[in-house]
Structure 1
Amino acid sequence: MKLVVISDTHIPKRAKGLPSKLIADLKDAELIIHAGDWQTVDIYHELATYGELKGVIGNVDNEELQRILPESLVLEVNNFRIGVVHGHGKGLTTEKRALATFKEQNVDCIIFGHSHIPVNKMHEGILLFNPGSATDKRRQAQYSYGVLTLNEEISAQHVFYDEKH
Protein backbone atom coordinates (compact mmCIF):
# COMPACT_ATOMS: atom_id res chain seq x y z
CA MET A 1 0.00 0.00 0.00
CA LYS A 2 1.33 3.43 -1.00
CA LEU A 3 0.74 6.51 1.14
CA VAL A 4 1.84 9.97 0.05
CA VAL A 5 2.81 12.17 2.99
CA ILE A 6 3.01 15.95 2.78
CA SER A 7 3.18 18.86 5.17
CA ASP A 8 3.69 22.61 5.22
CA THR A 9 2.31 23.30 1.74
CA HIS A 10 1.53 26.93 2.68
CA ILE A 11 -0.52 27.47 -0.47
CA PRO A 12 -1.06 30.17 -1.73
CA LYS A 13 1.54 32.03 0.34
CA ARG A 14 4.58 29.94 -0.69
CA ALA A 15 3.39 28.49 -4.00
CA LYS A 16 0.60 28.95 -6.52
CA GLY A 17 -0.20 25.25 -6.53
CA LEU A 18 1.01 21.73 -5.95
CA PRO A 19 4.30 20.75 -7.65
CA SER A 20 3.95 18.52 -10.73
CA LYS A 21 6.30 15.92 -9.21
CA LEU A 22 3.99 15.58 -6.20
CA ILE A 23 0.87 15.44 -8.39
CA ALA A 24 2.33 12.47 -10.28
CA ASP A 25 2.66 10.50 -7.01
CA LEU A 26 -0.76 11.60 -5.75
CA LYS A 27 -2.43 9.98 -8.76
CA ASP A 28 -1.60 6.45 -7.59
CA ALA A 29 -1.59 6.95 -3.83
CA GLU A 30 -3.97 4.78 -1.85
CA LEU A 31 -4.02 7.33 0.96
CA ILE A 32 -2.81 10.94 1.23
CA ILE A 33 -1.73 12.28 4.63
CA HIS A 34 -1.15 15.99 5.28
CA ALA A 35 0.58 16.97 8.54
CA GLY A 36 -0.69 20.55 8.72
CA ASP A 37 0.00 24.09 7.55
CA TRP A 38 -2.20 23.77 4.48
CA GLN A 39 -3.02 27.49 4.94
CA THR A 40 -6.46 27.49 3.24
CA VAL A 41 -9.23 24.96 2.67
CA ASP A 42 -8.73 25.19 -1.11
CA ILE A 43 -5.68 22.91 -0.97
CA TYR A 44 -7.65 20.45 1.18
CA HIS A 45 -10.34 20.23 -1.51
CA GLU A 46 -7.75 19.93 -4.29
CA LEU A 47 -5.88 17.10 -2.56
CA ALA A 48 -9.16 15.26 -1.93
CA THR A 49 -9.70 15.04 -5.70
CA TYR A 50 -6.73 12.63 -5.89
CA GLY A 51 -8.02 10.11 -3.37
CA GLU A 52 -8.66 9.43 0.29
CA LEU A 53 -7.24 12.28 2.37
CA LYS A 54 -6.48 12.47 6.08
CA GLY A 55 -4.84 15.35 7.87
CA VAL A 56 -4.43 17.63 10.84
CA ILE A 57 -4.25 21.36 11.36
CA GLY A 58 -1.06 23.34 11.75
CA ASN A 59 -0.34 26.69 13.34
CA VAL A 60 -1.10 28.80 10.22
CA ASP A 61 -4.32 27.11 9.14
CA ASN A 62 -7.44 29.21 8.79
CA GLU A 63 -10.64 28.89 10.84
CA GLU A 64 -12.40 26.80 8.22
CA LEU A 65 -9.66 24.16 8.35
CA GLN A 66 -9.70 24.30 12.15
CA ARG A 67 -13.40 23.40 12.07
CA ILE A 68 -12.98 20.33 9.86
CA LEU A 69 -9.61 18.89 10.95
CA PRO A 70 -8.28 17.64 14.30
CA GLU A 71 -5.04 18.70 15.99
CA SER A 72 -3.86 15.09 15.93
CA LEU A 73 -5.15 11.72 14.85
CA VAL A 74 -4.26 8.04 14.86
CA LEU A 75 -4.91 6.10 11.67
CA GLU A 76 -5.15 2.33 11.53
CA VAL A 77 -3.93 1.25 8.11
CA ASN A 78 -2.95 -2.32 7.13
CA ASN A 79 -2.53 -3.31 10.78
CA PHE A 80 -0.27 -0.32 11.48
CA ARG A 81 -1.09 2.56 13.82
CA ILE A 82 0.07 5.90 12.42
CA GLY A 83 -0.01 9.06 14.52
CA VAL A 84 -0.27 12.38 12.69
CA VAL A 85 0.38 15.80 14.26
CA HIS A 86 1.80 19.09 13.01
CA GLY A 87 4.23 19.44 15.92
CA HIS A 88 3.99 23.13 16.74
CA GLY A 89 3.93 24.40 20.31
CA LYS A 90 6.14 25.77 23.05
CA GLY A 91 9.08 24.08 24.69
CA LEU A 92 10.91 20.98 23.43
CA THR A 93 11.83 20.38 19.81
CA THR A 94 9.25 19.68 17.12
CA GLU A 95 10.25 16.02 17.14
CA LYS A 96 9.93 15.73 20.94
CA ARG A 97 6.50 17.43 20.86
CA ALA A 98 5.39 14.92 18.22
CA LEU A 99 6.61 12.00 20.34
CA ALA A 100 4.89 13.41 23.43
CA THR A 101 1.57 13.67 21.59
CA PHE A 102 1.45 9.90 21.07
CA LYS A 103 3.31 8.64 24.17
CA GLU A 104 0.25 6.67 25.37
CA GLN A 105 -1.05 5.67 21.93
CA ASN A 106 1.08 2.62 20.99
CA VAL A 107 1.82 3.80 17.44
CA ASP A 108 4.14 2.27 14.85
CA CYS A 109 4.84 5.55 13.06
CA ILE A 110 4.56 9.27 13.83
CA ILE A 111 4.16 11.71 10.97
CA PHE A 112 4.80 15.36 11.79
CA GLY A 113 5.70 18.62 10.08
CA HIS A 114 6.23 22.22 11.24
CA SER A 115 10.03 22.39 11.00
CA HIS A 116 10.18 21.84 7.20
CA ILE A 117 13.16 19.57 7.97
CA PRO A 118 12.93 16.05 6.49
CA VAL A 119 13.25 13.31 9.12
CA ASN A 120 13.21 9.54 8.58
CA LYS A 121 14.49 7.56 11.54
CA MET A 122 13.57 5.01 14.17
CA HIS A 123 13.13 6.02 17.81
CA GLU A 124 12.49 3.26 20.33
CA GLY A 125 10.72 1.12 17.73
CA ILE A 126 8.65 3.99 16.27
CA LEU A 127 9.25 5.32 12.78
CA LEU A 128 9.49 9.13 12.95
CA PHE A 129 8.76 10.79 9.64
CA ASN A 130 8.68 14.44 8.66
CA PRO A 131 8.18 14.82 4.89
CA GLY A 132 9.69 18.32 4.82
CA SER A 133 7.86 20.82 2.63
CA ALA A 134 6.78 20.39 -0.97
CA THR A 135 6.68 24.17 -1.51
CA ASP A 136 8.75 25.96 1.19
CA LYS A 137 12.19 24.41 1.66
CA ARG A 138 13.43 27.22 3.93
CA ARG A 139 17.06 26.38 4.67
CA GLN A 140 16.90 22.89 3.14
CA ALA A 141 18.73 22.09 -0.09
CA GLN A 142 15.59 20.79 -1.81
CA TYR A 143 11.81 20.61 -1.59
CA SER A 144 10.43 17.29 -0.40
CA TYR A 145 7.49 15.07 0.43
CA GLY A 146 7.31 11.44 1.45
CA VAL A 147 6.06 8.04 0.43
CA LEU A 148 5.22 5.41 3.02
CA THR A 149 4.95 1.81 1.90
CA LEU A 150 2.93 -0.58 4.05
CA ASN A 151 3.47 -4.27 3.46
CA GLU A 152 4.63 -6.69 6.14
CA GLU A 153 6.63 -3.74 7.47
CA ILE A 154 6.28 0.01 7.25
CA SER A 155 8.96 1.90 5.35
CA ALA A 156 9.38 5.53 4.37
CA GLN A 157 11.35 7.46 1.82
CA HIS A 158 11.66 11.09 0.87
CA VAL A 159 11.20 12.42 -2.64
CA PHE A 160 13.53 15.40 -3.15
CA TYR A 161 13.43 17.88 -6.03
CA ASP A 162 14.69 21.33 -7.00
CA GLU A 163 11.72 23.03 -8.70
CA LYS A 164 8.36 23.56 -6.99
CA HIS A 165 6.24 23.84 -10.12
Structure 2
Amino acid sequence: MKIVVTGDTHIPKKSKPLPSVLLKECETADLILHTGDWQSLDVYETLAAYANVIGVYGNVDGEDVQKLFQAREIVEVEGYKLGLFHGHGDKKTTEKRALEAFEGKEVDAIIFGHSHIPMMRYLKKVLLFNPGSPTDKRALPYYSYGILTIGDCIKGEIVFFKEKE
Protein backbone atom coordinates (compact mmCIF):
# COMPACT_ATOMS: atom_id res chain seq x y z
CA MET A 1 0.00 0.00 0.00
CA LYS A 2 1.31 3.42 -0.98
CA ILE A 3 0.42 6.40 1.21
CA VAL A 4 1.26 9.95 0.14
CA VAL A 5 1.79 12.16 3.19
CA THR A 6 1.59 15.93 3.02
CA GLY A 7 0.63 18.86 5.18
CA ASP A 8 1.22 22.52 5.87
CA THR A 9 -0.12 23.31 2.41
CA HIS A 10 -1.35 26.78 3.44
CA ILE A 11 -3.40 27.31 0.28
CA PRO A 12 -4.04 29.92 -1.04
CA LYS A 13 -1.64 31.90 1.20
CA LYS A 14 1.61 30.13 0.18
CA SER A 15 0.60 28.78 -3.23
CA LYS A 16 -2.44 28.80 -5.49
CA PRO A 17 -2.46 25.20 -6.71
CA LEU A 18 -0.76 22.21 -5.13
CA PRO A 19 2.60 21.49 -6.79
CA SER A 20 2.39 19.26 -9.86
CA VAL A 21 5.10 16.91 -8.52
CA LEU A 22 2.90 16.16 -5.48
CA LEU A 23 -0.22 15.67 -7.59
CA LYS A 24 1.66 13.33 -9.94
CA GLU A 25 2.61 11.21 -6.90
CA CYS A 26 -1.04 11.17 -5.79
CA GLU A 27 -2.01 9.48 -9.07
CA THR A 28 -0.59 6.19 -7.73
CA ALA A 29 -1.58 6.62 -4.07
CA ASP A 30 -3.84 4.17 -2.27
CA LEU A 31 -4.34 6.69 0.54
CA ILE A 32 -3.40 10.32 1.20
CA LEU A 33 -2.70 11.67 4.69
CA HIS A 34 -2.67 15.40 5.49
CA THR A 35 -1.09 16.72 8.71
CA GLY A 36 -3.15 19.92 8.91
CA ASP A 37 -2.83 23.60 8.05
CA TRP A 38 -4.87 23.05 4.90
CA GLN A 39 -6.15 26.63 5.12
CA SER A 40 -8.75 25.82 2.46
CA LEU A 41 -11.07 22.91 1.76
CA ASP A 42 -10.03 23.24 -1.88
CA VAL A 43 -6.92 21.25 -0.89
CA TYR A 44 -9.09 18.40 0.40
CA GLU A 45 -11.23 18.41 -2.76
CA THR A 46 -8.15 18.36 -5.01
CA LEU A 47 -6.51 15.48 -3.14
CA ALA A 48 -9.77 13.51 -2.83
CA ALA A 49 -9.93 13.33 -6.64
CA TYR A 50 -6.91 10.98 -6.44
CA ALA A 51 -7.52 8.74 -3.40
CA ASN A 52 -9.20 8.55 -0.01
CA VAL A 53 -7.94 11.42 2.17
CA ILE A 54 -7.59 11.32 5.94
CA GLY A 55 -6.35 14.35 7.81
CA VAL A 56 -6.36 16.48 10.91
CA TYR A 57 -6.74 20.21 11.37
CA GLY A 58 -3.90 22.56 12.22
CA ASN A 59 -3.58 25.84 14.06
CA VAL A 60 -4.38 28.05 11.04
CA ASP A 61 -7.43 26.07 9.92
CA GLY A 62 -10.82 27.70 10.27
CA GLU A 63 -14.16 26.29 11.34
CA ASP A 64 -14.90 24.85 7.90
CA VAL A 65 -11.83 22.59 8.12
CA GLN A 66 -12.33 21.86 11.84
CA LYS A 67 -15.87 20.60 11.12
CA LEU A 68 -14.48 18.01 8.70
CA PHE A 69 -11.39 16.88 10.65
CA GLN A 70 -10.35 16.07 14.21
CA ALA A 71 -7.27 17.38 16.03
CA ARG A 72 -5.89 13.85 16.28
CA GLU A 73 -6.59 10.58 14.45
CA ILE A 74 -5.43 6.99 14.65
CA VAL A 75 -5.71 5.29 11.29
CA GLU A 76 -5.34 1.52 10.93
CA VAL A 77 -3.76 0.47 7.66
CA GLU A 78 -2.78 -3.11 6.84
CA GLY A 79 -2.59 -3.93 10.55
CA TYR A 80 -0.45 -0.89 11.45
CA LYS A 81 -1.73 1.97 13.58
CA LEU A 82 -0.74 5.40 12.33
CA GLY A 83 -1.18 8.38 14.65
CA LEU A 84 -1.89 11.63 12.81
CA PHE A 85 -1.52 15.02 14.53
CA HIS A 86 -0.62 18.53 13.38
CA GLY A 87 1.83 19.33 16.20
CA HIS A 88 0.84 22.80 17.37
CA GLY A 89 0.56 23.76 21.02
CA ASP A 90 2.30 25.60 23.82
CA LYS A 91 5.92 25.14 24.86
CA LYS A 92 7.97 22.04 24.07
CA THR A 93 9.07 21.03 20.60
CA THR A 94 6.69 19.98 17.85
CA GLU A 95 8.06 16.44 18.10
CA LYS A 96 7.46 16.28 21.87
CA ARG A 97 3.89 17.56 21.45
CA ALA A 98 3.27 14.91 18.78
CA LEU A 99 4.61 12.20 21.08
CA GLU A 100 2.42 13.43 23.95
CA ALA A 101 -0.65 13.40 21.70
CA PHE A 102 -0.37 9.60 21.51
CA GLU A 103 0.94 8.89 24.99
CA GLY A 104 -0.62 5.68 26.28
CA LYS A 105 -1.84 4.72 22.79
CA GLU A 106 -0.35 1.86 20.82
CA VAL A 107 0.80 3.28 17.49
CA ASP A 108 3.41 2.12 15.01
CA ALA A 109 3.99 5.59 13.57
CA ILE A 110 3.31 9.19 14.52
CA ILE A 111 2.86 11.46 11.54
CA PHE A 112 2.87 15.18 12.20
CA GLY A 113 3.57 18.57 10.65
CA HIS A 114 3.53 22.17 11.93
CA SER A 115 7.29 22.79 11.90
CA HIS A 116 7.62 22.46 8.09
CA ILE A 117 10.84 20.57 8.83
CA PRO A 118 10.90 17.12 7.20
CA MET A 119 12.14 14.32 9.41
CA MET A 120 12.01 10.56 9.69
CA ARG A 121 13.41 8.60 12.61
CA TYR A 122 12.51 5.94 15.10
CA LEU A 123 12.02 6.51 18.79
CA LYS A 124 12.13 3.04 20.27
CA LYS A 125 9.72 1.14 17.99
CA VAL A 126 7.67 4.12 16.78
CA LEU A 127 8.36 5.81 13.45
CA LEU A 128 8.26 9.62 13.76
CA PHE A 129 7.49 11.14 10.37
CA ASN A 130 7.08 14.76 9.31
CA PRO A 131 6.68 15.29 5.54
CA GLY A 132 7.64 18.98 5.65
CA SER A 133 5.67 21.26 3.33
CA PRO A 134 5.13 21.19 -0.44
CA THR A 135 4.37 24.93 -0.53
CA ASP A 136 6.30 26.65 2.30
CA LYS A 137 9.88 25.51 2.82
CA ARG A 138 10.67 28.44 5.10
CA ALA A 139 14.47 28.60 5.49
CA LEU A 140 15.05 25.12 4.05
CA PRO A 141 16.51 24.62 0.56
CA TYR A 142 13.68 22.39 -0.73
CA TYR A 143 9.95 21.76 -0.57
CA SER A 144 8.91 18.24 0.43
CA TYR A 145 6.26 15.60 0.97
CA GLY A 146 6.41 12.01 2.17
CA ILE A 147 5.64 8.51 1.01
CA LEU A 148 4.91 5.60 3.32
CA THR A 149 4.87 2.12 1.83
CA ILE A 150 3.19 -0.51 3.96
CA GLY A 151 3.89 -4.19 3.43
CA ASP A 152 5.81 -6.43 5.81
CA CYS A 153 6.94 -3.21 7.49
CA ILE A 154 6.46 0.54 7.19
CA LYS A 155 8.96 2.12 4.81
CA GLY A 156 9.24 5.89 4.76
CA GLU A 157 10.68 8.29 2.23
CA ILE A 158 10.89 12.08 2.14
CA VAL A 159 10.71 13.48 -1.39
CA PHE A 160 12.47 16.82 -1.88
CA PHE A 161 11.88 19.15 -4.82
CA LYS A 162 12.98 22.63 -5.81
CA GLU A 163 10.09 24.26 -7.69
CA LYS A 164 6.45 24.60 -6.58
CA GLU A 165 5.01 24.56 -10.11
Q: State whether structure 2 residue 104 is matched by structure 1 residue 104.
A: yes
| Residue 130 (str. 1) matches residue 130 (str. 2) | yes
Matches within 5 A, 1:145-160: 145-160=145-160
Q: Which residue of 2 aligns with 1:164?
A: 164
Amino acid corresponding to residue 11 of structure 1 in structure 2: I
Moved more, 43-52 or 23-32: 43-52
Deviation by residue 1:83-106 (Cα, 9 ceiling, x = unmatched) = 000000001100000000001111
C-alpha deviation, 1:82, in angstroms:
0.1
Q: Please list the CA deviations of residues 23-70 of structure 1 after superposition, one character each: whole Å capped at 9, or x if unmatched.
A: 110011000000000001111111111110000000001110011100
Q: In the alignment, which residue of structure 2 is the partner of 1:67?
A: 67
Alpha-carbon separation, structure 1, partners of 2:104 and 2:75: 15
In the other structure, the counterpart of 2:50 is 50
Counting only pairs closer than 5 Å after superposition, residues 77-88 of structure 1 correspond to structure 2 as 77-88=77-88
**CA apart distance, 1:155:** 1.1
> Using the alignment, how far apart are the partners of 2:33 and 2:140 within structure 1?
21
If the length of structure 2 is used for normalisation, what is the TM-score? 0.99
Structure 1: gaps (5+ residues): none
In 1: Cα distance, 2:50 partner to 2:104 partner: 33
Q: Which residue of 2 aligns with 1:89?
A: 89
Measured in 2, the distance between the counterparts of 1:64 and 1:16 equals 19
Per-residue deviation at 1:141?
Answer: 1.0
Distance (Å, rounded) in 2 between the aligned partners of 1:144 and 1:47: 16
Deviation at 1:81, TM superposition (A): 0.3
**SS of aligned partner of 2:116:** coil
Give me the whole-angstrom Cα distance separating, in 2, the residues matched to 1:59 and 1:145.
19
**Rounded Cα–Cα distance in structure 2 between residues aligned with 1:121 and 1:142:** 19
Q: Deviations over 1:107-152 (max 9, x none)?
A: 0000000000001000011000000000000011100000000010
Instruction: Output the CA distance in 2 between the equivalents of 1:13 and 1:159.
Output: 22
| Runs of 4+ deviating beyond 4 Å | none
Q: Distance in 2 between matches of 1:36 and 1:59?
A: 8
Q: TM-score, normalised by structure 1?
A: 0.99
